[in-house]
Amino acid sequence: MKWSLLENMAQIPKSKQEIQIIVDSISFMDRKFNLISKGKDEQGNEFFLLQIEYMEEDINTGKLELQKARKWYISPYATETEIVETAFAACRRSMEHVLKEHFLYQGHRVYSPHFDIKGRKALCIVKSFDERN
Protein backbone atom coordinates (compact mmCIF):
# COMPACT_ATOMS: atom_id res chain seq x y z
CA MET A 1 0.00 0.00 0.00
CA LYS A 2 1.25 3.46 -0.82
CA TRP A 3 1.60 6.01 2.00
CA SER A 4 -0.94 8.40 0.43
CA LEU A 5 -3.51 5.61 0.43
CA LEU A 6 -2.87 5.01 4.15
CA GLU A 7 -3.32 8.70 4.87
CA ASN A 8 -6.77 8.57 3.27
CA MET A 9 -7.69 5.67 5.56
CA ALA A 10 -7.11 7.73 8.72
CA GLN A 11 -9.55 6.88 11.46
CA ILE A 12 -12.48 9.22 11.87
CA PRO A 13 -13.13 10.27 15.47
CA LYS A 14 -16.39 9.16 17.06
CA SER A 15 -18.88 11.75 18.27
CA LYS A 16 -20.21 11.73 21.82
CA GLN A 17 -23.49 10.35 20.47
CA GLU A 18 -21.73 7.44 18.74
CA ILE A 19 -19.82 6.55 21.91
CA GLN A 20 -22.96 7.00 24.01
CA ILE A 21 -24.79 4.41 21.88
CA ILE A 22 -22.04 1.89 22.66
CA VAL A 23 -22.00 2.78 26.37
CA ASP A 24 -25.80 2.54 26.55
CA SER A 25 -25.55 -1.04 25.26
CA ILE A 26 -23.45 -2.10 28.28
CA SER A 27 -25.00 -3.41 31.47
CA PHE A 28 -23.53 -4.81 34.66
CA MET A 29 -25.51 -5.47 37.82
CA ASP A 30 -27.12 -2.21 38.98
CA ARG A 31 -24.26 -0.06 37.71
CA LYS A 32 -24.90 3.07 35.66
CA PHE A 33 -22.29 4.07 33.07
CA ASN A 34 -21.79 7.83 32.65
CA LEU A 35 -19.99 9.29 29.67
CA ILE A 36 -18.48 12.65 30.61
CA SER A 37 -17.19 15.18 28.06
CA LYS A 38 -13.80 16.35 29.27
CA GLY A 39 -12.27 18.67 26.71
CA LYS A 40 -10.61 18.56 23.34
CA ASP A 41 -7.44 16.91 22.12
CA GLU A 42 -4.73 18.63 20.04
CA GLN A 43 -6.77 18.06 16.85
CA GLY A 44 -9.83 19.69 18.41
CA ASN A 45 -11.68 16.40 18.88
CA GLU A 46 -13.71 15.99 22.07
CA PHE A 47 -12.50 13.33 24.49
CA PHE A 48 -14.37 11.60 27.26
CA LEU A 49 -14.25 9.90 30.64
CA LEU A 50 -16.34 6.89 31.62
CA GLN A 51 -17.48 6.62 35.24
CA ILE A 52 -19.57 3.97 36.98
CA GLU A 53 -22.15 4.96 39.61
CA TYR A 54 -24.23 2.77 41.90
CA MET A 55 -26.03 2.81 45.22
CA GLU A 56 -24.37 0.91 48.06
CA GLU A 57 -24.01 1.18 51.80
CA ASP A 58 -21.05 3.32 52.76
CA ILE A 59 -18.41 1.07 54.30
CA ASN A 60 -17.92 3.42 57.27
CA THR A 61 -21.40 4.83 57.96
CA GLY A 62 -23.59 1.96 56.77
CA LYS A 63 -25.86 4.51 55.05
CA LEU A 64 -27.07 3.85 51.52
CA GLU A 65 -25.20 6.36 49.36
CA LEU A 66 -24.33 7.03 45.74
CA GLN A 67 -20.92 5.53 45.02
CA LYS A 68 -18.81 6.83 42.13
CA ALA A 69 -15.91 4.79 40.80
CA ARG A 70 -12.74 6.25 39.29
CA LYS A 71 -12.88 7.77 35.80
CA TRP A 72 -11.56 5.99 32.71
CA TYR A 73 -10.31 7.76 29.57
CA ILE A 74 -12.18 7.18 26.29
CA SER A 75 -10.48 8.47 23.15
CA PRO A 76 -12.66 9.74 20.29
CA TYR A 77 -10.59 7.33 18.18
CA ALA A 78 -11.40 4.30 20.36
CA THR A 79 -12.89 1.33 18.58
CA GLU A 80 -16.14 -0.21 19.74
CA THR A 81 -14.13 -3.08 21.23
CA GLU A 82 -11.83 -0.69 23.12
CA ILE A 83 -14.81 1.17 24.59
CA VAL A 84 -16.48 -2.06 25.73
CA GLU A 85 -13.17 -3.38 27.13
CA THR A 86 -12.65 -0.10 29.01
CA ALA A 87 -16.10 -0.48 30.57
CA PHE A 88 -15.24 -4.08 31.49
CA ALA A 89 -11.97 -2.93 33.08
CA ALA A 90 -13.89 -0.27 35.01
CA CYS A 91 -16.30 -2.94 36.33
CA ARG A 92 -13.45 -5.26 37.28
CA ARG A 93 -11.64 -2.47 39.15
CA SER A 94 -14.83 -1.39 40.89
CA MET A 95 -15.53 -4.95 42.05
CA GLU A 96 -11.94 -5.26 43.28
CA HIS A 97 -12.50 -2.06 45.27
CA VAL A 98 -15.63 -3.54 46.89
CA LEU A 99 -13.75 -6.79 47.62
CA LYS A 100 -10.94 -4.88 49.32
CA GLU A 101 -13.43 -2.92 51.42
CA HIS A 102 -15.30 -5.99 52.65
CA PHE A 103 -12.42 -8.46 53.12
CA LEU A 104 -11.46 -8.64 56.81
CA TYR A 105 -8.61 -10.30 58.63
CA GLN A 106 -9.06 -10.41 62.39
CA GLY A 107 -11.70 -7.71 62.03
CA HIS A 108 -9.51 -5.33 60.02
CA ARG A 109 -9.70 -4.20 56.39
CA VAL A 110 -6.12 -5.17 55.64
CA TYR A 111 -6.58 -4.61 51.89
CA SER A 112 -8.54 -1.35 52.17
CA PRO A 113 -8.40 0.60 48.90
CA HIS A 114 -8.57 3.76 51.00
CA PHE A 115 -5.10 3.47 52.49
CA ASP A 116 -3.17 6.61 51.75
CA ILE A 117 -0.04 6.19 49.60
CA LYS A 118 2.11 7.74 52.35
CA GLY A 119 0.93 5.06 54.79
CA ARG A 120 1.77 2.35 52.26
CA LYS A 121 5.18 3.92 51.74
CA ALA A 122 5.77 3.91 55.52
CA LEU A 123 5.25 0.14 55.55
CA CYS A 124 7.91 -0.18 52.85
CA ILE A 125 10.35 2.00 54.77
CA VAL A 126 10.04 -0.07 57.97
CA LYS A 127 10.24 -3.21 55.80
CA SER A 128 7.10 -4.70 57.29
CA PHE A 129 7.38 -7.86 55.19
CA ASP A 130 6.18 -11.39 55.87
CA GLU A 131 9.11 -13.52 54.71
CA ARG A 132 9.99 -17.20 54.91
CA ASN A 133 13.14 -18.25 56.77
Please list the rounded mean pLDDT of every run of 10 residues in the chain (133 residues).
49 92 97 92 86 94 95 94 98 96 94 89 83 81
Q: What sections of the chain are H helices per DSSP? A: 3-8, 16-24, 80-102, 117-125
Q: Encode pLDDT of 13-34 as tens digits.
A: 899 999 999 999 999 999 999 9
Determine what percent of the chain falls in helix, strand and coil, rounding each to the nearest 5.
35, 25, 40
Q: What are phi and psi of 32, to 5 degrees?
A: -110, 135
Q: Hey, what amino acid is at 63?
A: K
Single pTM value for the model: 0.81
